[in-house]
Amino acid sequence: MAEGDITLKVQRFDPTADKLPYWQSFTVKTRPGMTVLDALFEVLNHQDGTLSFRFCCRAGVCGSCAMIIGGKARLACETQVAQFLGKGDLMLSPLPHQPVVKDLAVDYEHFFDRLKRVKPYLVGKEPYPEKEYIQSTKERQPINEPIDCILCGSCTSSCTMAWTNSDYLGPAALLKSYRFVADTRDAVQDERLDIMESESGVWRCHTQFNCVEVCPKKLNPTEAIQKMKIKAFKRKLLGRRKAKK
């Protein structure tokens, strides 16, 4: 693996002190296996103690360190620096369209507020069974993928529909909703589809696939959204037919 120096060009912004964001460069000596998060710690520990960024598991599972790296939303902890060597400065900026707490750390409040609007919890069929719900591997299959979402926010931050309408639930919240819509144990499918059909629901998705492109877990929110469109559409059609009879 290549070694050498890399220059990180970091977007800096302290909303309590700065009028506008600005770029600052740091040169870091790389080593084999170094990740972008390692490089940021190198800066924090030995060059500039005022740098701010989010981090936690450093293993791609907690979703803390999503940021724009080299023009694309990625997790800093699982992005190897080596791939950027010899390609000029490596640009790092916070996830767009979320308020900046400081530098690369964003405020996820609005992101989680939208999640909360989709009833992000299972409402299990009652009465609860004495033991577990019986769910075959085939019945679980549709949720195998969406449950892997780590809520890093990369998708919603990369969705231009979510940029232009802050009410739009966005791919992360919609994928979460699909995770329950597709769960055979859930008892409130109609309520969920009502939310999906609402002004800020699935119909705002224009299938740009930005969310699919950036998802660090290789999930497919666009597909999940289309599946819910089909469900909502079928429900309407069926309702109309019943009413006619």
Partner 1 sequence: MYYHKILVIGGGLAGLRAAIESAPKVDTAIISQVHPVRSHSGAAQGGVNASLANNPAAKDDTWEKHAFDTVKGSDYLADQDAVEFMTKEAGPCIYEIEHWGCPFSRTDEGKIAQRPFGGAGYPRTCYAADKTGMYMLHTLWERSVKLNVPLYEDRVMVDLVLEGDSVRGVICLNMRTGELEQFMAEAVIIASGGSGQIYGRSTNSLISTGSAQSTCYRRGVPLKDIEFIQFHPTSLFGTNILMTEGARGEGGYLVNNLGERFMSKYAAKAMELAPRDIVSRSIQTEINEGRGINGQDFVHLDLRHLGREKILERLPGIRDLAINFVDVDPIEKPVPIQPGQHYTMGGIDTDIDGATKFKGLYAAGECGCVSVHGANRLGGNSLLDTVVFGKRSGRVAAEYVLSKKASKEGEGAMNKCLKESKERIDGLLSRKGTENHSDIRADMKETMIKKVGIFRNKSLMDEAVAEIKALKARYANMSVQNKGKGYNLDLIRAIELEGMLDVAEAIAVGALKREESRGAHSRLDFKERDDAKFLQHTIATYSPKGPVITYSPVKVTKYKPEARRY
State the residues that interact with partner 1 by CB under 8 A: 14-17, 33, 44-46, 48-64, 78, 80, 101-103, 105, 107-108, 112, 116, 120-122, 124, 128-137, 139-140, 143, 147-148, 150-151, 180, 183, 185
Going by C-alpha positions, the residue among 6, 73, 11 that lies closest to residue 35 is: 6
**How far apart are CB 205 and partner 1 at their closest, in Å?**
23
DSSP H or E segment with residue 100? strand 100-102
**How far apart are CB 220 and partner 1 at their closest, in Å?**
15
**How far apart are CB 245 and partner 1 at their closest, in Å?**
36
- For β-strands 100-102 and 72-75, DSSP reports them as unpaired
DSSP H or E segment with residue 174? helix 170-181
**How far apart are CB 137 and partner 1 at their closest, in Å?**
5
**How far apart are CB 206 and partner 1 at their closest, in Å?**
28
Residue 44's identity, in one-letter code, is L
DSSP H or E segment with residue 23? strand 22-29
> Would you say 84 or 180 has its CB closer to partner 1?
180
Q: Tell the residue number behind the tokens 């009465």, with chain if given.
A: 127
**How far apart are CB 125 and partner 1 at their closest, in Å?**
9
Non-local CB neighbours of 158 within 8 Å, separated by 6+ positions: 73, 96, 210, 211, 213, 214
> Would you say 134 or 243 has its CB closer to partner 1?
134
> Would you say 48 or 213 has its CB closer to partner 1?
48
> Would you say 135 or 164 has its CB closer to partner 1?
135
**How far apart are CB 93 and partner 1 at their closest, in Å?**
16
> Would you say 21 or 60 has its CB closer to partner 1?
60
> Would you say 133 or 233 has its CB closer to partner 1?
133
Q: How far apart are the first and last CA of the chain?
A: 70
DSSP H or E segment with residue 9? strand 5-12
Going by C-alpha positions, the residue among 64, 128, 136, 126 that lies closest to residue 101 is: 64
The pair of structure tokens assigned to 9 is 């060009």
Look up residue 92 and give its DSSP letter. Answer: E
d(CA 127, CA 204): 36
> Would you say 125 or 206 has its CB closer to partner 1?
125
